[in-house]
A = this chain, B = another copy of it.
Amino acid sequence: MTEQRAERLRRPCVAALDAILGEVLPVLDDGFVRVVDYLGDDAAVVQAARVSYGQGTKHVSDDRGLIRYLLRHRHTTPFEMCELKLHVRVPMDAWRQWIRHRTASVNETSTRYSIAIDAAQRTAPTAWRGQAANNRQGSEGLLPAELGAELSRQETELQERARAVYNERLARGVAREQARKDLPLCTYTEAYWKLDLHNLLHFLGLRMDSHAQAEIRAYATVIGEQIVARWVPLVWEAFCDYRGGALSLSRLERGILGALGRGDTEAALAIAREAGWLAVAAETGRLARNRERAECEAKARELGIALPWLDSTRQAADQA
């Protein structure tokens, strides 16, 4: 630390991010994200880790290795030493999902104090999404453009009606806080949103995921790919490698695949049997449906490992 104490500090600056400071990055039909300010950079993560774990080597390549190590092993506190502050414009229904992340600081335009923004999210005729058959996934595919055109016309009409009612209420003297109550959920709002890099990565991990709703995913993707990638490129690379594309094997899956790897089919079957995965459904005489077993089968397929309870015919079919 002696050396560190002697040196005078300059604030870390990231030229690639400074170049877009304040710039409007458009999202959806009328939303945006802008970087207002930031604190720290890749080196600040390394600096925080080194105060904990000791100085060690200091070359650029080591910084990359250390950041990858920290992220891979979920040593998360050094990532809290960086902060990002954004100005965003976003439909209120997406914003509701957004602010469920409780670790951020927020100042949002108040529609008690100000007239609500005169814009609601509009859907293009070709952008209406179908309900997923699997009900947990949200949406799947797009509706025909012809039907979409009708839905978009209806949307415009409803939004205009809602706005007219809002304006009339204001004209009649209704308090703004009450007049707004029947505006559409997708009315735009604006806010400052600030949080640290650890919590930002957690946000991106959840909201860039294919299961996230398309609207918030659009924002998360811009924040990740256009902002974080510029700001902390080493962290971003590590995040893509270790969070985005990771595959987790449970204790059971690990036991089964490990046993197969050792050639011990009986041990693998014993684990599956013990876990109740091999119960037979009385009606069909085949293996009963089991969500955990199905997830294990998908992972084994990806790794090219044959599972002993799947007959070869079915495995071939599954892989087709």
**Contact surface of A with B, Cβ cutoff 8 Å:** 1, 4-5, 7-13, 18, 21-24, 32, 34-40, 44, 47-49, 51-54, 65, 68-69, 72, 77-78, 80-81, 83, 85, 87, 89, 91-93, 96, 99-100, 102-103, 105-110, 112-114, 120-121, 123, 128-132, 135-136, 138-140, 143, 147, 151, 154-155, 158-159, 161-162, 165, 168-170, 172-178, 180-187, 190-192, 194, 196, 213-214, 240-242, 244-252, 254-255, 257-258, 260-263, 291-292, 295, 302-305
Give how many copies assemble into the complex. 4
Determine which of B39, B135, B162, B250 lies in contact with A158 in the assembled complex, contact meaning CB atoms within 8 Å: B162
For A173, list chain B residues within 8 Å (CB): 130-131, 143
For A108, list chain B residues within 8 Å (CB): 51-52
The reply to whether B245 and A251 form a contact with Cβ atoms under 8 Å apart is yes
The reply to whether A40 and B37 form a contact with Cβ atoms under 8 Å apart is yes
Complex Cα spacing A222 to B133, Å: 41
Most chain B CB atoms below 10 A, which of A12, A113, A155: A113
The reply to whether B241 and A181 form a contact with Cβ atoms under 8 Å apart is no
The reply to whether A177 and B107 form a contact with Cβ atoms under 8 Å apart is no
Complex Cα spacing A104 to B291, Å: 32
The reply to whether B34 and A11 form a contact with Cβ atoms under 8 Å apart is no
The reply to whether A37 and B12 form a contact with Cβ atoms under 8 Å apart is yes
For A192, list chain B residues within 8 Å (CB): 47-48, 51, 81
13 A–B contacts, CB within 8 A, in A order: A51-B108, A51-B190, A51-B192, A54-B135, A65-B291, A121-B181, A130-B174, A139-B178, A162-B184, A183-B185, A184-B185, A240-B251, A261-B304
The reply to whether B181 and A184 form a contact with Cβ atoms under 8 Å apart is yes
The reply to whether A114 and B44 form a contact with Cβ atoms under 8 Å apart is no
Complex Cα spacing A241 to B100, Å: 28
For A105, list chain B residues within 8 Å (CB): 77, 80-81, 196
For A5, list chain B residues within 8 Å (CB): 24, 32, 34
Question: Taking A128-B174, A177-B139 as contacts, is the C-beta distance between A258 and B147 under 8 angstroms?
Answer: no
The reply to whether B302 and A258 form a contact with Cβ atoms under 8 Å apart is yes
Closest CB in chain B relative to A280 CB, distance in Å: 16
Please name the residue on chain B nearest to A242 by beta carbon: B250
Please name the residue on chain B nearest to A196 by beta carbon: B105
For A182, list chain B residues within 8 Å (CB): 120, 155, 158-159, 162, 184-186
Closest CB in chain B relative to A38 CB, distance in Å: 7
Closest CB in chain B relative to A54 CB, distance in Å: 5
For A129, list chain B residues within 8 Å (CB): 174-175, 177-178
The reply to whether B106 and A178 form a contact with Cβ atoms under 8 Å apart is no
For A136, list chain B residues within 8 Å (CB): 53, 113
Closest CB in chain B relative to A65 CB, distance in Å: 7
Determine which of B21, B77, B159, B263 lies in contact with A9 in the assembled complex, contact meaning CB atoms within 8 Å: B21
For A112, list chain B residues within 8 Å (CB): 138, 213
